[in-house]
């Protein structure tokens, strides 16, 4: 089992619930947009929020954001060790550094400051920015190359008497990601932050992330997860939750829906999307079906605890395949949620 590490008021590792992390995508200096994204993450059920710190102004805004959210704030630092130190002093709950782009002397200063303030550091190795000598040795960022970088850096932190660590080694290649995390898990007991980096847009990113993350979770590897998507941050959280539910690490409703065909008289896609948004923080493990036609829908979705379909403005609610109610279509989801809350 991995060690426990505290990020603000959130504990990761040591068998705790797997935490969901995401990252704001606005310019960190843009207070209005960044705060909006943080609030959206909070509402979506995110556990930990990371923000990029590209300059001093961004580091100085950490306090501003922390005062306005319940989420722990992780400062993401590249290149400039002074920004890491400033972020810690401004209240970051954890910092993530990419050791491939900060010199060892400077990392020592970051370690000293993190020790003084009692906050953890994530060593975030990335296939795109491996140390030069390691890259030359392996020719490309193979799992072994990524692992060598992690090993070298962990040893350096331990030599400097710092073990409040979280590790990650991300690649945009799913199989490489799985292999390198297996290696890290075998050799170290620090909590692991897992994900496939630069996974891609919409369904490409969702597919790669789901395969990479769920494969590792099923082997008991991973303490925090991030789904990297070229999409609004809250969508990363929605996908992360679905991955956790799919591998039984999170309780919640399971929404199934038919693919629709020439018999469909009901807008399955729109209703499913609205229902997903309304149930995002529900914990009841109920199976809900959204089907395209009244003739076949209820029967095809017998396995579901409850379901909906409809035709010509009339919404139909069924339980285990049997129709129990007809309502006006615009009242359908209110009625469905009432049944889920009160009767199931
Ligand atoms: Fe087609 Fe109806 Fe089956 Fe959906 S439930 S796939 S609309 S037959």
- 3-state SS assignment for residue 64: helix
The region that residue 14 occupies, defined by phi over 0 for left and psi between -120 and 50 for alpha, beta otherwise, is left
Substitution site in 264, 268, 269 for ligand 1 pocket (most atoms within 8 Å of beta carbon): 264
> 98-102, 136-140, 319-323 — which is least confidently predicted?
98-102
pLDDT over 80 at 200, yes or no: no
pLDDT tens per residue across span 11-37 = 999 999 999 999 999 999 999 999 999
Q: What is the pLDDT of residue 100?
A: 80
pLDDT tens per residue across span 282-306 = 999 999 999 999 999 999 999 999 9
User: In whole numbers, what is the pLDDT of the chain averaged over residues?
Assistant: 95
pLDDT over 90 at 128, yes or no: no
Closest atom, ligand 1, to C-alpha of 261:
1
Q: Cβ(256) to ligand 1 under 6 A?
A: no
The alpha carbon of 270 is separated from its chain's Cα centroid by a whole number of angstroms, namely: 24
Q: What is the pLDDT of residue 239?
A: 94
pLDDT tens per residue across span 71-87 = 999 999 998 999 999 99
Q: Whose CA is nearest to atom 5 of ligand 1?
A: 297
Q: Cβ(43) to ligand 1 under 6 A?
A: no
Cβ atoms of residues 181 and 195 within 8 Å: no
- 3-state SS assignment for residue 192: strand
Please classify residue 130 by burial: count the beta carbons closer than 10 Å to its beta carbon, then call 0-12 exposed, 13-18 middle and 19+ buried. Answer: buried
Report the separation in Å between the CA atom of 316 and the middle of ligand 1, taken as the mean of its atom positions.
14
Substitution site in 269, 272, 297 for ligand 1 pocket (most atoms within 8 Å of beta carbon): 297
Tell me the two tokens of residue 54: 């590209």
pLDDT tens per residue across span 135-152 = 999 999 999 999 999 999
Report the separation in Å between the CA atom of 287 and the middle of ligand 1, taken as the mean of its atom positions.
18
Residues β-bridged to residue 322: 319
- Separation CA 272–CA 201 (nearest Å): 21
Q: Cβ(249) to ligand 1 under 6 A?
A: no
For 1-20, what is the mean pLDDT?
97
Domains detected in the chain? 5-246 (3.20.20.20), 254-342 (3.30.413.10)
Taking residue 128's Cβ as centre, other Cβ atoms within 10 Å add up to 12
- % of the chain at pLDDT higher than 90: 91
For 92-120, what is the mean pLDDT?
94
99: pLDDT confidence band, cut at 50, 70 and 90?
confident
Ranges of beta strands (E only) in the chain are 5-7, 10-12, 19-23, 48-52, 73-77, 94-97, 121-126, 165-170, 193-194, 224-225, 254-257, 287-290, 306-311, 314-319, 322-328
For 151-168, what is the mean pLDDT?
97
Cβ atoms of residues 74 and 92 within 8 Å: yes
pTM: 0.91
Q: What is the pLDDT of residue 154?
A: 97
Q: Cβ(302) to ligand 1 under 6 A?
A: no
Indicate the DSSP class of residue 136. H
Q: Cβ(263) to ligand 1 under 6 A?
A: yes
Q: What is the pLDDT of residue 280?
A: 87
Taking residue 260's Cβ as centre, other Cβ atoms within 10 Å add up to 15
- 3-state SS assignment for residue 256: strand
């Amino acid at each position: 089992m991995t060690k426990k590490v505290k990020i603000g008021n959130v504990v990761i590792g040591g068998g705790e619930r797997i935490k969901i992390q995401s990252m704001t995508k606005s310019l960190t200096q843009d207070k209005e947009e960044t705060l909006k994204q943080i609030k959206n993450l909070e509402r979506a059920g995110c556990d930990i929020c990371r923000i990029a710190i590209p300059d001093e102004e961004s580091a100085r805004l950490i306090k501003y954001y922390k005062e306005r959210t319940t989420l722990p704030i992780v400062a993401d630092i590249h290149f400039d060790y002074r920004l890491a130190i400033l972020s810690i002093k401004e209240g970051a709950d954890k910092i993530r550094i990419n050791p491939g782009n900060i010199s060892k002397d400077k990392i020592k200063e970051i370690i000293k400051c993190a020790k003084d303030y009692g906050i953890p550091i994530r060593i975030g190795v990335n296939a795109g920015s491996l140390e030069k000598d390691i890259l030359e040795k392996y020719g490309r960022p193979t799992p072994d190359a990524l692992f060598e970088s992690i090993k070298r850096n962990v040893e350096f932190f331990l030599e400097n008497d710092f073990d409040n660590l979280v590790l990650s080694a991300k690649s945009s290649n799913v199989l490489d990601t799985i292999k390198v995390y297996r290696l890290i898990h075998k050799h170290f007991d620090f909590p692991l932050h897992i994900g496939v980096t630069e996974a891609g847009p919409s369904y490409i990113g969702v597919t790669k992330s789901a395969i990479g993350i769920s494969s590792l979770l099923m082997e008991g590897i991973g303490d925090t997860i991030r789904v990297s998507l070229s999409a609004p941050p809250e969508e990363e959280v929605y996908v992360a939750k679905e991955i956790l539910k799919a591998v039984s690490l999170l309780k919640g409703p399971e929404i199934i829906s038919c693919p629709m065909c020439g018999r469909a008289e009901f807008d399955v896609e729109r209703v499913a999307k609205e229902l997903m948004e309304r149930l995002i923080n529900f914990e009841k493990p109920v199976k809900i079906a959204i089907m395209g036609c009244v003739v076949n829908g209820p029967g095809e979705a017998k396995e579901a605890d409850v379901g909906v379909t409809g035709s010509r403005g009339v919404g139909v609610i069924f339980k285990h395949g049997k129709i129990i109610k007809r309502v006006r279509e615009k009242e359908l989801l209110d009625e469905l949620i009432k049944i889920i809350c009160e009767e199931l």
